Amino acid sequence: MLSTRVGKVLSAAGLPIDGEVVKGVYMGKGTWGGNGEVMESVCPSTGEVLAKVATATAAETSEAVKRAREAYKTFRKVTGPKRGEIIRQVRNAIAEHKSALGALVSLEMGKIISEGEGEIQEYIDICDYAIGLSRSAAGRVLKSERPGHQILEVANPLGVVGIITAFNFPVAVCGWNFALCLAVGNATVWKPSPTTPLCAIAVTRIVADVLEKNGIDGAVASLVCGGLEAGEALVNDKAVDLVSFTGSERVGQIIGTKVQSRFGKILLELGGNNCAIVAPSANLDLALRTLVFAAAGTAGQRCTTTRRLILHRSIADKFLPRLVKAYENLQTRVGDPLKSHTLIGPLHTRGAKDTFFKALEQVKREGGEILVGGESYAPSSGDLKQGHYVLPAIVKPASPESPIFQEETFAPMLSVAIYDDLDQAIGWNNGVRQGLSSTLFTTDMREMGKWISEEGSDCGLVNVNVATSGAEIGAAFGGNKSTGWGRESGGDAWKQYVRWSSCTINFTDDAPLAQGVNFE
Ligand code: NAD
């Protein structure tokens, strides 16, 4: 018997509350199934089992890919603007369910309700973007060196795109990929995180309904819930033209290598080890407010969470105690993410909590100190006792060279270092494997200029006076180096979801060769 808290959220999202096993595999034409292992979706806030989900076997995953390819053959002929109209309907249907889906994200992933709804808004926003793209995704006409010739760069869809997503953005990341794929004429097969299947099922039901009402085979938006078996089958299937993977560096390296070995296309969005630098001229009030959200928000479980803070020596003694105080104040705001007062929800799993404590131990072992937080949070309410709550921590490792600075600890632990010279701080920002997000708090234009230049941050996201996290969909999103070099969402990211052909066309009766070559 489900609690009222859970029952309300699940039924609003159209999911069963009577204990029935939820089918987690969809491959078009109203077909829902799942012959693989039955997995449990567990609420990170309370430990309550939300539902049992039937997942995909390897064979079902291959079948989903086959059906997606069949659906693609028809879908690629639908005109761009018509595809845009379908995306508009998807957008409206998701918007209609925004609060229900936002609460489901909060329930199943553990982020606070406002961020849950924000995630659905991101799906809506990328649909808006993709509607425009459906009419504007354009190639180019280039001047030829041969008289009467024209060169066209033509974008055609790739075919089938496999989308493998992480637990922490259980809806938006698929949206980034799916909306662009639909705009340019691809079919998709989505494998969500094994711990957030309900979000994926609820969204896919809505999308499938729109597709089917428009006479489009729903296999264009196939779903294979599951773990390793489904994931590996998708990665190894030669009929999957592009694998778009969002997750850890460790898994990204395995998947990237596998896809490359079959000469498939790969888009990687991996871990971040994001850094904020606070310069002497910074507006410290703004930096403080921004950093508390960026470092402790989502309980440190955004790929763009600020994990490293580099303070200029001249402001460190003034700034750090204020930040510590702000973290102390946060301790009264830990709890059930569905409650509006809560700012810090639980970690997603017990394993994540263990990782947090291990990282704190490492800081101490390496001679560093914990300035605030770093303990388990014991909720007063009985039903939250099985949740994975911690108190966000600020630590000061022994030195900026300490090994702990090199790793992404996917939990609310912020490591602090002190710098004297901006080049030194930029060196530390760049001196890690990962290259996702970074920010500089300054009002000095010369510093801003350097930061965004070739001498500045080597990350994919390079901000000024803005959090490392919380990107908008307008610009391309992604990171460099071991973050995988992928770009999703806005900007030119759509260009990765198409195959480009350079087409040289001769409008004359002559046959000149390029570079003046003579063959007569
Ligand atoms: P994860 O790497 O453990 O899992 C991600 C996905 O990969 C899941 O769906 C999982 O089932 C699947 N998977 C695991 N092994 C696989 C295999 N061998 N073959 C195919 N699929 C496999 O990551 P996670 O714990 O869910 O998410 C947290 C990580 O994701 C963090 O490192 C975070 O920084 C990163 N992330 C990055 C971005 C980004 O845009 N750069 C966004 C969100 C999360």
Other CB atoms within 10 Å distance of the CB of residue 235: 24
Q: In angstroms, rounded to a whole number, what is the distance separating the alpha carbons of residues 25 and 194?
A: 12
Kindly state whether residue 334 falls inside one of the protein's structural domains.
Answer: yes
Atom 22 (ligand 1) nearest CA:
231
pLDDT at position 160, please? 99
> Which 3-state string (H, E, C) describes 449-476?
HHHCCCCCCCCCEEEECCCCCCCCCCCE
pLDDT at 379: 87
Q: Is the same domain home to 22 and 46?
A: yes
Indicate if 217 and 341 belong to the same structural domain: no
Atom of ligand 1 nearest to the CA of 251: 2
The pLDDT value recorded for residue 261 is 98
Q: Are residues 24 and 49 in the same domain?
A: yes
Query: What integer pLDDT is reported at residue 378 of this predicted model?
Result: 87
Of all atoms in ligand 1, which is nearest to the CA of residue 408?
32
Q: What DSSP line would sit under 357-425, residue for residue?
A: HHHHHHHHHTT-EEEE--SB---SSGGGTTS--B--EEEE-S-TT-GGGGS--SSSEEEEEEESSHHHH
Please indicate, yes or no, if residue 302 is contained in any of the structural domains.
yes
Instruction: Note whether residue 514 is domain-resident.
Output: no
Q: Tell me which residues of the chain have a pLDDT lower than 70.
A: none
Report residue 282 as tokens.
């910074």
User: Best substitution site from 167, 177, 482 to test ligand 1's pocket, by max atoms within 8 Å of Cβ?
Assistant: 167
Q: Mark whether 265 and 235 lie in a shared domain.
A: yes
For 71, the token pair is 């659906």
* Number of domains forming the structure of the chain: 2
195 with 72, same domain: the answer is yes
Q: Report in angstroms the alpha-carbon separations of 373 from 85, 128, 357, 391, 412.
A: 50, 41, 11, 5, 9
Residue 318 resides in a domain: yes
Q: Which amino acid is at 345?
A: G
Residue type, 422: L
Whether residue 269 lies in the annotated active site: yes
Q: Provide the CATH number for the domain around residue 326.
A: 3.40.309.10
Out of 169, 269, 302, 303, mutate this one to test ligand 1's pocket (max ligand atoms within 8 Å of CB): namely 303
Q: Is the CB of 483 under 6 A from ligand 1?
A: yes
Q: Supply the range of the domain harboring residue 325.
A: 274-472
Question: Residues 40, 118: one domain?
Answer: yes
Q: What is the pLDDT of residue 30?
A: 87
Give the number of the atom of ligand 1 that is nearest the alpha carbon of residue 227: 11
> Tell me, what CATH number does 84's domain have?
3.40.605.10
Instruction: Please tell me whether residues 418 and 494 are part of one structural domain.
Output: no
Q: Are residues 164 and 294 in the same domain?
A: no
Residues 178, 184, 188: CA angle, nearest 5 degrees: 35
**What pLDDT is stored for residue 409 in this prediction?**
98
Same domain as 334, residue 259: no
**Residue at 520 is within a domain:** no
Q: Is the CB of 408 under 6 A from ligand 1?
A: yes
Q: What is the pLDDT of residue 381?
A: 79
Site to probe by mutation for ligand 1, drawn from 224, 254, 270 as the one with most ligand atoms within 8 Å of Cβ, is 270
48 domain residue, yes or no: yes
Q: Is 40 a catalytic residue?
A: no
